[in-house]
Amino acid sequence: MKTPTRPKTILITGGATGIGEAAARKFASCGWQVAIADINETSGQALASAIGSNAIFVKADTRDIARMREVVNEVTATFGALDAVFANAGIHRRNRLLDISDEEFDLVVKTNIYGTVNTLRAAAPAIIESGGGAVVINASDQVFIGKPGNFAYGLTKGALGQMTRTLALELAPHNIRVNAVCPSTIRTPLVDTLFDKVAAAGGPSAQELWAEENALFPRGRAGEPSEVAEMVYFLASDSASFCTGGLYPVDGGLTAG
């Protein structure tokens, strides 16, 4: 008699809203056990409850390496193992080299780079313990192109692209594949907040900004979180068994020309 195959488990940081939420729903719908980590406790708890018994929420700030190690321990204690991680947590701020404050630069770098590194330092040993698996990093179209007014964000996302390549080589002997999704502008609360701040500072309205953004794409619109989640799921699944070290655009053709 065959031993029943256990469900696979994924940890998703920044999992309470936006791309993280869409990914959590996608994995759960495909039979995975999902651990949602976020600083947004209200939304995270609500999402885990909505998904059901194969999801848990753990409050965490990825900038805190000790807490991320506790989170991984909680996940493996609950679900028995960890097979994949989606390092998704990040922030965006509009700034340029000549106007960015020390505080804002520190915040973006520590959230997007340190937070991702902390997540992977905590999760990788558990994935190795389970026999291998997958790492998916949320990078950006700014791995490939520059965008004025995105100095710190573009810098950090470019770093994540290089991190993906290096980790694919370092972790291959441990049977871990490492890939990055590289979304363009996606309709998420993060972008809505950014556009609202621009409007509040005397710029165009959020509606005007979305119209301008949509016009940039050959597909005629920005992306949806569910469209990124589909790529994340593919890269974490066995369907992508020969994919590692890749940077995968989900950008409606924005970086094609």
Tokens coding 215:
């016009």
Place of tokens 């256990």: 6
153 is catalytic: yes
Q: For residues 204 and 183, give the distance between their C-alpha atoms in angstroms, rounded to a whole number.
A: 24
Q: For residues 100 and 47, give the distance between their C-alpha atoms in angstroms, rounded to a whole number.
A: 35
Tokens coding 19:
């791309």
User: What is the distance of C-alpha 231 from the center of its chain?
Assistant: 11
83: left (phi over 0), alpha (psi -120 to 50) or beta: alpha
Could you give the strand order of the β-sheet that contains 176-183, starting from the edge strand earlier in sequence? 55-59, 33-38, 9-13, 84-87, 133-138, 176-183, 247-250
C-alpha distances (whole Å) from 2 to each of 31, 79, 97, 212, 232 are 19, 21, 60, 56, 30
189 touches 17 (CB < 8 A): yes
Rounded to the nearest 5 degrees, what angle is found at the Cα of 240, between the Cα atoms of 28 and 90? 60
Catalytic residue among 114, 153, 233, 248: 153
Report, as residue numbers or ranges, the catalytic residues: 153
